[in-house]
Amino acid sequence: MNPRRKKRLGIILAIFFGISATVGLIVYALNQNMDLFYTPTEIVNGKPDGTKPEVGQRLRIGGMVVVGSVKRDQDSLRVSFDLADVGPKVTIYYDGILPDLFREGQGIVAQGVLKNATTIEAFEVLAKHDEEYMPAEIAEAMKKTHEPLQYSTEQKEGSAK
Amino acid sequence: MIAEIGHFAMILSLGLAVLLSVLPLYGASRNNTMLMNSARPLSWGMFLFLAVSFVILCYAFYTNDFTLQYVASNSNTQLPWYYRITAVWGAHEGSLLLWVLIQAGWTVAVATFSRGMPQESVARVLAVMGLITVGFLLFIIVTSNPFIRTLPFFPVDGRDLNPLLQDPGLIIHPPMLYMGYVGFSVAFSFAIASLMSGRLDTAWARWSRPWTIAAWLFLTLGIALGSWWAYYELGWGGWWFWDPVENASFMPWLAGTALMHSLAVTEKRGTFKAWTVLLALSAFSLSLLGTFLVRSGILVSVHAFASDPARGMFILGFLVFVIGGSLLLFAVKGAAVRVRGNFDLVSRENALLGNNIILIAALVVVLVGTLLPLVHKQIGLGSVSIGAPFFDMLFFWLMIPFSFLLGIGPLIRWKRDNLSKLVKPMIISGAISVGLAGLFVTVLADHFSGTAFVGWMMAIWIISMHGFELYERATHRHSFKKGITKLQRSHWAMMLGHIGLAVTVIGIAMVQNYSIERDVRLAPGESFQLNEYNFYFEGVRDKDGPNYDGYIADFEITKEGKYINTLHAEKRFYTTAKSMMTEAAIDRGVTRDLYIAMGERLDDNKSWAVRIYYKPFVRWIWAGSLIMSIGGALAISDRRYRFRKTAKNDKKLQEQEA
């Protein structure tokens, strides 16, 4: 190889390694930091495709705070509350200050780790600064779960029989 | 009646913008001097009518004209007058009007400061800018008109401005940011104009440079202001959240930074031409992409504007037109750009290429992190969120080679250099970096953190290598004392730009690794100890404002028994907007901020949830951005950008090009 080609090969190899290192890092970092969104119903019953989150998995959950479920520890800032959309409830534990607009009956999104089948230890709780606001993710999820709650084709056939 | 004049002025301005985007272009292709000369007066007309329209909207806000729907939704008679004016850009419609006004302002600026440029180029550049203005004006008039009336049943009072936006930081943050976003349209127009004429010469790079730096300068300030505002106003004490909207402003910044450096190579060495053009096109395209993401409502974000699918579709169409059109033009004409790249592996060209590659890699990281959740959802895999650690980790790793290159780049000569003479300063500077970084991390913090150590090391590496460069440059011909006064402004600009980055890196390294954040339960009379600081909660008192009910919690801070400060953290309930706001109280300092934000009153009606933060070196992040911006301002004021105005020099310039 003449020196000119050698140099070019060197540059191409360097670029190749640079790109692969970057892509590798991105994929690795994504694996570590991508959190799937679930509704309380999906945590208990699984997503439509049957996948359920595993215990210890990091995830995002969105739903309405069940009225009367907020309980505070007397000596610390530890708080627990139930979150539901239309189906089963999930309990969230959180240590810290809730957002200004956190209220019972209000839609919130929490980020945390699944402790057991129906419990989540949250490290972040978000509520939007708007009275009528419902996080888009929750609105959509509730729309989705609403449909099967009406009448499925099976039920309709059943009643016709 | 007055509002109709504003509406009408806006439409007239659209008419002028249409003329501006057609006539000079046609004139340039036909070599018709009269048509080409129409570009300047048309730009002025477009700007003046938009200014009239904007002033009228401000007046409507000032006089509480609630017959305008936009005013009624975003203002209130209780709102102080200065916030009534800034409410003009507090929501979608008005902020777009500000956007277009700034766009027209840049057009006029180009028209004014382009005397030294050939008539044909000026005509083309202004026409392209006119075309962009047409797009935005159509967008406003068709989908988001701020002058729509609520007649005949207008509300007695307005719904008030979002309380988060009732803050001095917000008076200047959006205009600065828009100055930056829109400013890249100048570099974009220069690139398009020169692609059209097929003349991508060094003169083109020289003309684009000051405009690009100006846009970059405003964007830097705008982003820094936004970060500062989020820090004290949102009450979370964070300075950057990797929120999609922040990312939308950061992407053009990264592209713009790459563009500035690549333009330097194109101007000085005449290489990298195609790449520079591509960067100029992408910097503005990314600004548009940001607008699309923010205003179409497809992203979930703290900043998201009230959304409307029609708006999203319009911007998407505009985006496709601008990006598709410019890339098409680039594909057709760009191939003709041939450069003999004649430089060695070790050369400043390659160092700057490395800088560009890393900046683009960072850009890709942000783009992936911002758009992946969208794609993931659209292809039916469910919604996901990508957390801040993703970005933090990747930026940490990208920053290491970046700052290494940044340290040696200015010392390498153009075209060809030998690394052997750099070995000694590199070893010395490396040793200083390791030593000082270790010293600072042990002295300033209570435990050792690897990432903070690397952060300090990178920053000191940059500073010491630049110190060495400064010394070399100053003692090149004269004694140090005399030489340092002979340095050009552009050289100081580079110094400040790079050292500003180092200062920001120090701030980030300290804040990210040594912040202490405690959420505690406190009753009046109790106190909390954070490191050597003692926070004594004195009590809560009422304090109502013009449009809110509020109360203040007083905290006395002492350090080892010595009085430091009394902080007043506020909690406000805005009655019209019906929302609760937290006003954090901050004791500012060069090496640390103490930050208190009130949470809620707890069930026993006595104690409160309180956020107490210790934020070391957080101000350095913004100070660094400020230093970078000053560098930018120095670069623009450098003598070589003051274009020769006399006819003789004009001729010389043209001869040079020929």
pLDDT of residue B627: 96
Residues B32 and B96 in one domain: yes
Instruction: Give residue B76's identity as a one-letter amino acid code.
Output: N
Whether the pLDDT of residue B305 is over 60: the answer is no
Residues B543 and B395 in one domain: no
CB distance B579–A100 less than 8 Å?
yes
pLDDT of residue A80: 92
CB distance B384–A35 less than 8 Å?
yes
Q: In B523-561, at which residue ranges do the beta strands (DSSP E only) sit?
A: 527-530, 533-542, 548-559
- Whether residue B650 is contained in a domain is answered as no
pLDDT tier, A150 (very low <50, low <70, confident <90, very high otherwise): very low
Phi, psi of B141 (to 5 degrees): -65, -40
Expressed as residue numbers, the domain containing B11 is 1-153
Name which of B345, B389, B582 is nearest A100 (Cβ-Cβ).
Answer: B582
Residues B442 and B532 in one domain: no
Interchain contact B582–A (C-beta under 8 A): yes
What is the rounded average pLDDT of the residues A69-81?
87
Count of structural domains within chain B: 4
CB distance A35–B385 less than 8 Å?
yes
Q: What is the CATH number of the domain that holds B82?
A: 1.20.120
Nearest CA in chain B to A32: B390
Q: Cβ contacts (< 8 Å) between A18 and chain B: which residues?
A: 357, 361
Whether the pLDDT of residue B578 is over 70: the answer is yes
Question: Could you read off the pLDDT of B214-224 as tens digits, one per residue?
Answer: 999 999 999 99
Residues B252 and B211 in one domain: yes
What is the rounded average pLDDT of the residues B600-624?
88
Distances (CA, A) of A158 to A150, A151, A153, B458, B509: 14, 10, 8, 71, 65
What DSSP state is assigned to residue B149? Answer: B
Last residue of a domain, one of B443, B470, B487: B487
Distance (Å, whole) CA B531 – CA B110: 55
Residues B396 and B310 in one domain: yes
* Higher-confidence position of A129 and B315: B315
Residues B77 and B144 in one domain: yes
Instruction: Kindly provide the b/e burial profile for residues A17-29, where b requires at least 16 CB atoms within 10 angstroms of the residue's own CB.
Output: eeeeebeebbeeb
pLDDT tier, A152 (very low <50, low <70, confident <90, very high otherwise): very low
Question: Could you read off the pLDDT of B339-375 as tens digits, one per residue?
Answer: 666 777 778 888 898 899 999 999 999 998 888 888 8
Q: Which two tokens stand for residue B603?
A: 């069930």
pLDDT of residue B255: 96
Q: Which two tokens stand for residue B116?
A: 């030294």
Residue pair A114/A53 in contact by the 8 Å Cβ criterion: yes
Residues B211 and B325 in one domain: yes
Q: In B103-201, at which residue ranges do the beta strands (DSSP E only) sit?
A: none
What is the rounded average pLDDT of the residues A46-70?
84
Residues B104 and B203 in one domain: no
pLDDT of residue B297: 63
Phi, psi of B514 (to 5 degrees): -120, 10
Name which of A26, A37, A111 is nearest B394 (Cβ-Cβ).
Answer: A26
Question: Could you read off the pLDDT of B408-451 as tens digits, one per residue?
Answer: 988 888 877 777 888 899 999 999 999 999 999 998 888 889 99
Question: Could you read off the pLDDT of B371-401 as tens digits, one per residue?
Answer: 888 888 777 777 788 888 899 999 999 999 9
Sheet holding B516-522, edge to edge: B516-522, B608-616, B592-601, B585-587
- Whether residue B564 is contained in a domain is answered as yes
Question: Could you read off the pLDDT of A79-128 as tens digits, one per residue?
Answer: 999 988 877 889 999 988 888 778 888 788 888 999 988 899 998 888 75
pLDDT of residue B301: 52
pLDDT tier, A54 (very low <50, low <70, confident <90, very high otherwise): confident
Q: Which two tokens stand for residue A152?
A: 């499925």
Cβ burial of A55 (10 Å; 0-12, 13-18, 19+) is: exposed
Whether the pLDDT of residue B506 is over 50: the answer is yes
What percentage of residues in chain B have a pLDDT greater than 70?
A: 94
CB distance A25–B579 less than 8 Å?
no
Whether the pLDDT of residue B309 is over 50: the answer is yes
Name which of A11, A29, A97 is nearest B519 (Cβ-Cβ).
Answer: A97
- Whether residue B400 is contained in a domain is answered as yes
pLDDT of residue A139: 59
CB distance B383–A111 less than 8 Å?
no
Cβ-proximal residues to B527 (8 Å cutoff; 6+ apart), any chain = B534, B535, B536, B537
Distances (CA, A) of B345 to A10, B160, B342, B353, B415: 10, 60, 10, 11, 9
What is the rounded average pLDDT of the residues B108-130?
91
Residues B75 and B120 in one domain: yes
Instruction: Give me the total of CB pairs closer than 8 Å, taking one residue from chain A and one from chain B.
Output: 96
Nearest CA in chain A to B611: A97
pLDDT tier, A156 (very low <50, low <70, confident <90, very high otherwise): very low
Q: Do the strands A58-65 and B516-522 form a parallel or antiparallel pair, or are they unpaired? A: unpaired
Outline where B303-347 has alpha helix (H). 309-334
* Strand, coil or helix: A40: helix
Name which of A22, A47, A77 is nearest B382 (Cβ-Cβ).
Answer: A47
Please confirm whether the linkage preceding B152 is cis (ω < 30° from 0): yes
- Whether residue B105 is contained in a domain is answered as yes
Name which of A75, A96, A100 is nearest B580 (Cβ-Cβ).
Answer: A100
Whether the pLDDT of residue A19 is over 90: the answer is no
CB distance B579–A95 less than 8 Å?
no
Whether the pLDDT of residue B633 is over 60: the answer is yes
CB distance B384–A33 less than 8 Å?
no
Whether the pLDDT of residue B136 is over 80: the answer is yes
pLDDT tier, B639 (very low <50, low <70, confident <90, very high otherwise): confident
Here the ipTM equals 0.73
* Higher-confidence position of B14 and A58: B14
| pTM, rounded to two decimals | 0.89
Name which of A10, A35, A74 is nearest B387 (Cβ-Cβ).
Answer: A35
Residues B392 and B433 in one domain: no
- Whether residue B160 is contained in a domain is answered as no
Q: Which of A6-20, B406-420, B615-629 is the most confident on average?
A: B615-629
Residues B554 and B482 in one domain: no
pLDDT tier, B542 (very low <50, low <70, confident <90, very high otherwise): confident
pLDDT tier, B643 (very low <50, low <70, confident <90, very high otherwise): low
Handedness of CA B521, B514, B238, B85 (dihedral sign): positive
Residue pair B569/B553 in contact by the 8 Å Cβ criterion: yes
- Residue carrying structure tokens 């804040």: B511
Whether the pLDDT of residue B155 is over 70: the answer is yes
Question: Could you read off the pLDDT of B487-497 as tens digits, one per residue?
Answer: 888 899 999 99
Q: Which two tokens stand for residue B92?
A: 């979608």
Whether the pLDDT of residue B337 is over 80: the answer is no
What percentage of residues in chain B have a pLDDT greater than 90?
A: 45
Helix (H) or strand (E) holding A137: helix A136-149
CB distance B385–A34 less than 8 Å?
yes
- Whether residue B107 is contained in a domain is answered as yes
Would you mind telling me the total number of residues written for chain B in this entry?
658
Helix (H) or strand (E) holding B562: strand B562-574
| Residues of A engaging B, defined by a Cβ cutoff of 8 Å | 7, 10-11, 15, 18, 22, 25-26, 29-30, 32-37, 47, 60, 72, 74-77, 95-98, 100-101, 111, 129-131, 135-137
Nearest CA in chain B to A47: B382
Whether the pLDDT of residue B626 is over 50: the answer is yes
pLDDT of residue B444: 87
- Whether residue B648 is contained in a domain is answered as no
Whether the pLDDT of residue B552 is over 80: the answer is yes
Distance (Å, whole) CA A12 – CA A6: 10
Shortest Cα distance, chain B CAs vs residue A77, angstroms? 6
CB distance A30–B393 less than 8 Å?
no
Residues B192 and B128 in one domain: no
Third-level CATH fold of A36-149: OB fold (Dihydrolipoamide Acetyltransferase, E2P) (2.40.50)
pLDDT of residue B132: 94
* Higher-confidence position of A41 and B42: B42
